[in-house]
């Protein structure tokens, strides 16, 4: 029986391995982690991450050919294929701080693999890493190998949160990079055989190591760039009276451009887009390509601009101050159908409003108070470390109140901000919300989910990203 072990039971390691176990009943899959609380949760009825369809997959395989364990060394030493799916945060200090990827967790995993291995292994990079990382990993493994053969493969993951199971069942492509030697090609074939259990072979792309590593960074950069492009247009739409949804629709009809990923928003969030672009920028700089680095840096700058612009719009339209005013925040996760808050635009928007002394009442169907307080107190980039190694927030922020209902959040509020596109926000009883709010009642829709005309008819002053502005907002221009 082929044995697979995955180091890192996170958003990637957990779902990917669960799907491999489901689709390959004859393979034994162990997912291991240094975080005891994560592994305990994976072995319980309350999984550590919320992902539609994940519960069913885990329930079908757990205890049969899918195991979650903290006994990292045992499972690594027994495995034929070891996936490494650990954190690769942005460095916060030292060389490359604020940009370069911190490979501490990766390196310690590699050293441990070398230490405990007694048989030949294929080691698979699943984490997103800088191009050429495989070379460094190869050096660590071979210098400590005691005669064991390690083949390194790059097999980056392209799943998106909220649709992870769907993406894993039916991926656009699976990418496997390896050495162009006979042993490297044999390792590629072994991993291809795993995916071929359910992925059509023409969707399994094989390449050299560096192309595979760089393709992952490139794909995320291209995706984020589309969002920054449409968000840049949204600012121009507001200034001219064009409607960003109509512009995006017209532009996306061009088959060369395509309709997906053109939704203007308060900004992109999530654990990877910013981190991976910063990483790309750093690699460009290290390779003497400052023009290329600056080109990609701009994608992040527009994203920051969009969040700042949103906060300024709120403050300026509410008579240039939100001090002491209750503002309801609907949605805190970085997108719908996930409880993940890593780099969510809600953090920057909330911090901006708190900076202007607002009182926030926050509701998100999947995010609890402890998480929100942690996020608002944590320093930039500190979130991307194993849970038990994250710095604890000193005290909770008193101006923030977290509630479990949109109506409670909006009661007596001066303004409502929609920061995540949860479906339930489309069907709220906005008349009831309006009746219970202070007047004039404002709605700032950072995800373009509400029907502006209906809300205006109720009496709200409505701001929707990239849409023609209310006269009220035109009279109170926001300077970014
Ligand atoms: N979240 C996502 O949607 C995607 C993430 N990625 C990449 O995958 C990698 C992992 O991301 P996530 O799963 O989101 O992170 P995560 O933080 O959810 O999971 C990483 C896990 O690795 C564990 N870990 C760290 N060092 C360890 C060690 N030495 N031994 C055992 N366990 C260790 C941590 O405790 C944590 O549970 C990152 O490089 C990320 O860029 C790639 C595609 C999608
Ligand atoms: O490397 C990763 O971590 C993953 O990053 C993204 O996936 P994810 O961050 O989970 O979610 P996305 O659907 O890409 O959304 C990212 C952010 O962009 C925002 N977004 C997305 C699309 C859009 O049109 N407009 C927009 O503002 C979302 O609301 C969210 O805040 C990529 O889509 C995945 O392919 C990739 O594997």
150-201 pLDDT, tens per residue?
999 999 999 999 999 999 999 999 999 999 999 999 999 999 999 999 999 9
Ligand 1 pocket test target in 272, 275, 381, 383 with most atoms within 8 Å of CB: 272
257-288 pLDDT, tens per residue?
999 999 999 999 999 999 999 999 999 999 99
Average pLDDT over residues 387-411: 84
452-469 pLDDT, tens per residue?
999 999 999 999 999 999
Q: Do domains 3-199 and 221-475 have the same CATH topology?
A: yes
Ligand 1 centroid–CA 464 distance in Å is 35
Among 355, 301, 303, which Cα is nearest to 327's?
A: 355
CB-ligand 1 contact for 87 (6 Å cutoff) = yes
Percent of the chain with pLDDT over 70: 98
Ligand 1 centroid–CA 7 distance in Å is 9
| Start-end of H helices in 79-208 | 104-116, 133-143, 164-169, 182-195
Is pLDDT above 80 for 383? no
Closest ligand to residue 171's CA: 2
Q: Give the span between the Cα atoms of 446 and 265, in whole angstroms.
A: 5
| Start-end of H helices in 205-338 | 209-240, 244-252, 273-286, 290-317
pLDDT value of residue 380: 75
175 Cβ contact partners less than 8 Å away, ≥ 6 residues apart: 154, 155, 156, 158, 205, 207, 212, 215, 216
CB-ligand 1 contact for 159 (6 Å cutoff) = yes
Q: Give, in words, the CATH class of 3-199.
A: alpha beta
Binned at pLDDT 50, 70 and 90, residue 392 comes out as: low
Nearest CA to ligand 2 atom 2: 272
Among 331, 357, 271, which Cα is nearest to 85's?
A: 271
Q: Give the span between the Cα atoms of 65 and 139, in whole angstroms.
A: 32
pLDDT value of residue 366: 94
Is pLDDT above 70 for 295? yes
Average pLDDT over residues 79-108: 92
Residue in this structure with the two tokens 């034994």, named with its chain if needed: 28
Cβ atoms of 277 and 220 closer than 8 Å: yes
Closest ligand to residue 172's CA: 2
Domain boundaries, the chain: 3-199, 221-475
Binned at pLDDT 50, 70 and 90, residue 6 comes out as: very high
Cβ atoms of 155 and 124 closer than 8 Å: yes
Binned at pLDDT 50, 70 and 90, residue 384 comes out as: confident
Minimum-distance ligand 2 atom for the alpha carbon of 128: 1
Average pLDDT over residues 338-363: 96
Helix, strand, or coil here: 419? coil
Nearest CA to ligand 2 atom 6: 160
Task: Give kind and range of the element (H or E) at residue 205.
Answer: strand 204-208
Is pLDDT above 90 for 474? no
Tell me the β-bridge partners of 252.
Answer: none
Q: Which residues are annotated as a binding site for NAD(+)?
A: 8-13, 33, 38, 86-90, 127-128, 161, 272-275, 342
Binned at pLDDT 50, 70 and 90, residue 382 comes out as: confident
Mean pLDDT of the chain: 95
Q: Give, in words, the CATH class of 221-475.
A: alpha beta
Residue of 272, 284, 350, 417 marked catalytic: 272
Q: Which of 47-56, 139-148, 378-387 has the lowest mean pLDDT?
A: 378-387
Is pLDDT above 90 for 306? yes
pLDDT value of residue 479: 62
């Amino acid at each position: 029986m082929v044995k697979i072990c995955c180091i890192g039971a996170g958003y990637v390691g957990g779902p990917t391995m669960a799907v491999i176990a489901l689709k390959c009943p004859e393979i034994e899959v162990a997912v291991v982690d240094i975080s005891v609380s994560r592994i305990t949760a994976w072995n319980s009825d309350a999984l550590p991450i919320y992902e539609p369809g994940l519960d069913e997959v885990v329930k079908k395989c757990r205890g049969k050919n899918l195991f979650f364990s903290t006994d990292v060394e045992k499972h690594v030493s027994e495995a034929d294929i070891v996936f490494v799916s650990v954190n690769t945060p942005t460095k916060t200090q030292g060389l490359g701080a604020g940009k370069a990827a911190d490979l501490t967790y990766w390196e310690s995993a590699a050293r441990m693999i070398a230490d405990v291995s007694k048989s030949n292994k294929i080691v698979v990079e699943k984490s997103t890493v800088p191009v050429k990382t495989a070379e460094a990993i190869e050096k660590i493994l071979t210098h400590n190998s005691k005669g064991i053969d390690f083949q390194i493969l790059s097999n980056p993951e392209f799943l998106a949160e909220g649709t992870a199971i769907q993406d894993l069942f039916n991926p656009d492509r699976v990418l496997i990079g390896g050495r162009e030697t006979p042993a490297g090609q044999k390792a590629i074939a072994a991993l291809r055989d795993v995916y071929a259990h359910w992925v059509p072979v023409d969707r399994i792309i094989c390449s050299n190591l560096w192309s595979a590593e760089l393709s992952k960074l490139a794909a995320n950069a291209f995706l984020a760039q589309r969002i920054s492009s449409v968000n840049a247009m949204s600012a121009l739409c507001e200034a001219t009276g064009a409607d960003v949804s109509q512009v995006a629709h017209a532009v996306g009809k061009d088959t060369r451009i395509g309709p997906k990923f053109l939704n203007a928003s308060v900004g992109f969030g999530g654990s990877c887009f910013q981190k991976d672009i910063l990483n790309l920028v750093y690699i460009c700089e290290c390779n003497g390509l400052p023009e290329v680095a600056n080109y990609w840096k701009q994608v992040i700058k527009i994203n920051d601009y969009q969040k700042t612009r949103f906060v300024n719009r709120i403050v300026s339209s509410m008579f240039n101050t939100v001090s002491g005013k209750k503002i309801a925040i609907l949605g805190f996760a970085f997108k719908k159908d996930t409880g993940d808050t890593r780099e969510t635009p809600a953090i920057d928007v909330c911090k901006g409003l708190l900076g202007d002394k607002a009182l926030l009442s926050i509701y998100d169907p999947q995010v609890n108070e402890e998480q929100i307080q942690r996020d608002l107190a944590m320093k930039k980039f500190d979130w991307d470390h194993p849970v038990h190694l994250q710095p604890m927030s000193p005290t909770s922020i008193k101006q923030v109140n977290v509630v479990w209902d949109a109506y409670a959040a909006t009661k007596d509020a001066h303004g409502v901000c929609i920061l995540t596109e949860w479906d339930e926000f489309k069907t709220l009883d906005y008349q009831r919300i309006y009746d219970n709010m202070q007047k004039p009642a404002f709605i700032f829709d950072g995800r373009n989910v509400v029907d502006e005309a209906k809300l205006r008819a109720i009496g709200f002053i409505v701001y929707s990203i990239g849409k023609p502005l209310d006269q009220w907002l035109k009279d109170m221009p926001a300077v970014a």
